[in-house]
């Protein structure tokens, strides 16, 4: 991390608690629940009937209607959130060849895949749309953002399950750090509240079945948590080399100062029982940031509301931070948004940046009966206002992927 510094200059967000950065941040601080009954399809026969859906989504408000029809829902989210982040950064690119896009997705265009499979079964191969493949593939958000804005630098999609968005931010930061680019648009997008996705996650008993109380189904660190709530949305950040941002007079929101990337090498879906991989990712993030554990005021937890993940993540934090673990704040915004899968890491990177900017930490809602194994300060009593200089944001994914991102208040 010596030499070229990486700063955040723009943010874009779409989630179950809002469309746009301002609405998201206001509702997160207010503890507004974004989870409810599934309405995107008839889920009456499913074990889990709860989701975090993006409400009142009309892509024609943000995109040309013809253009929007040629995008899967996840692509619409990603492109619109990227547009917002670029506007927020007031980005005027002078060198498009040194401006890139890395936007991840854990699953990609599952809605169009299911719809086109039905068209194939009912009408044969001639009924499959010529737009099926470009609408489905996960890299299309990055491709379309590049095309819309003329960015010709590094361009691709990261896929690491629920760590995809965080991996995209790390890759983008690395591109700037190693001199491959000066500006990167990075993040994740996901929209998989579909028949197959909900059925699949339900079959593996990963989802909450609190169908009679959907607004309180996502309850990280609570003794009565019973699974995650599937969500959708996008989180996008504009990253820049610090001098590049200062030269153009950009408002710098935070600095990306470190990251840790590790693998559990343990199990397809379960985290390593001792949290070793997660702990190692956090240690690496601190080391690359040259940050002492005692410097961290806030951890935006992966905090999925699953029985295993929450207590193992807490154990990993205790391993890394020792007694300081009991002094920092460790909240989970998934209590409000549900789990945005491949978009969750970058959405929570947006939250981490905003926390530094505003000096405010969103609450963990629905935490009414704390698990004795989750005994840190999980911000259960409402939004906390305090000076925040250093933040860690955790993201973990099926396959044993671990990503920890370190953000710091920017000092020239």
How many whole angstroms separate alpha carbon 157 and alpha carbon 15?
Answer: 20
Active site residue 117: no
How many whole angstroms separate alpha carbon 194 and alpha carbon 200?
Answer: 10
Active-site residue, from 302, 374, 378, 401: 302
CB contact set of 274 (below 8 Å; sequence gap of 6+):
312, 315
Active site residue 339: yes
Phi/psi at 196 (5° precision): -70, -45
Under a CB-based contact definition with an 8 Å cutoff, are residues 233 and 77 in contact?
A: yes
Active-site residue, from 35, 162, 378, 401: 162
The two structure tokens encoding residue 152: 């010709």
Under a CB-based contact definition with an 8 Å cutoff, are residues 334 and 218 in contact?
A: yes
Active site residue 162: yes
Let me know how long the chain is: 412
Active-site residue, from 244, 339, 378, 401: 339
Pairing of strands 99-104, 183-190: parallel
Nearest one of 140, 162, 159, 131 to 77, comparing CA atoms: 140
DSSP code per residue over 62-111: TS-HHHHHTS-HHHHHHHHHHHHHHHHTT---S-GGGEEEEEE-SS--HH
Burial of 378 (0-12, 13-18, 19+ CB in 10 A): buried
Residue whose token pair is 């820049």:
240
Residue 383 burial (CB count, 10 A): 15
The two structure tokens encoding residue 411: 């000092």
Burial of 268 (0-12, 13-18, 19+ CB in 10 A): exposed
Residues tagged active-site? 162, 302, 339
């Amino acid at each position: 991390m010596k030499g070229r510094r990486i700063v955040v200059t723009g943010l874009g967000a779409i989630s179950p608690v809002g469309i746009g950065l301002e609405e998201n941040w206001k509702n997160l601080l207010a503890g507004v629940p974004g989870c409810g009954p599934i309405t995107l399809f008839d889920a009456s026969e499913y074990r889990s009937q709860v989701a975090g859906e993006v409400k009142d989504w009309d892509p024609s408000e943000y995109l040309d209607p013809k253009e929007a029809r040629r995008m899967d829902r996840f692509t619409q989210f990603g492109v619109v959130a990227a547009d917002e982040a670029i506007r927020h950064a007031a980005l005027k690119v002078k060198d498009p060849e040194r401006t890139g896009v890395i936007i991840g997705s854990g699953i990609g265009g599952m809605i169009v895949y299911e719809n086109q499979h039905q068209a194939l079964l009912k009408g044969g191969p001639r009924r499959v749309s010529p737009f099926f493949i470009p609408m489905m593939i996960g890299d299309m958000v990055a491709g379309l953002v590049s095309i819309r804005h003329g960015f010709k630098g590094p361009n691709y999609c990261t896929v690491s399950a629920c760590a995809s968005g965080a991996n995209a931010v790390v890759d983008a930061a690395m591109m700037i750090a190693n001199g491959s680019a000066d500006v990167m648009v990075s993040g994740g997008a996901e929209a998989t509240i579909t028949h197959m996705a909900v059925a699949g996650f339900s079959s593996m008993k990963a989802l909450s079945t609190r169908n009679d109380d959907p607004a309180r189904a996502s309850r990280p660190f609570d003794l009565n948590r019973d699974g995650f709530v599937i969500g959708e949305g996008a989180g996008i950040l504009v990253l820049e080399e610090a001098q590049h941002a200062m030269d153009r007079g950009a408002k710098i929101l935070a600095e990306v100062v470190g990251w840790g990337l590790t693998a559990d090498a343990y199990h397809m879906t379960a985290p390593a029982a001792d949290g070793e991989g997660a702990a190692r990712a956090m240690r690496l993030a601190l080391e690359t940031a040259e940050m002492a554990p005692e410097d961290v005021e806030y951890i935006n937890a992966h905090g999925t509301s699953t029985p295993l993940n929450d207590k193992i993540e807490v154990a990993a934090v205790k391993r890394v931070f020792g007694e300081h673990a009991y002094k920092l704040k460790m909240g989970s915004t998934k209590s409000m948004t549900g789990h945005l899968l491949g978009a969750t890491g970058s959405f929570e990177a947006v939250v981490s940046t905003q926390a530094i900017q505003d000096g405010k930490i969103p609450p963990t809602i629905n935490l009414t009966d704390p698990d004795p194994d989750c005994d840190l300060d999980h911000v259960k009593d409402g939004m906390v206002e305090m000076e925040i200089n250093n933040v860690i944001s955790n993201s973990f994914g099926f396959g044993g992927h671990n990503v920890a991102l370190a953000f710091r208040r920017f000092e020239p």
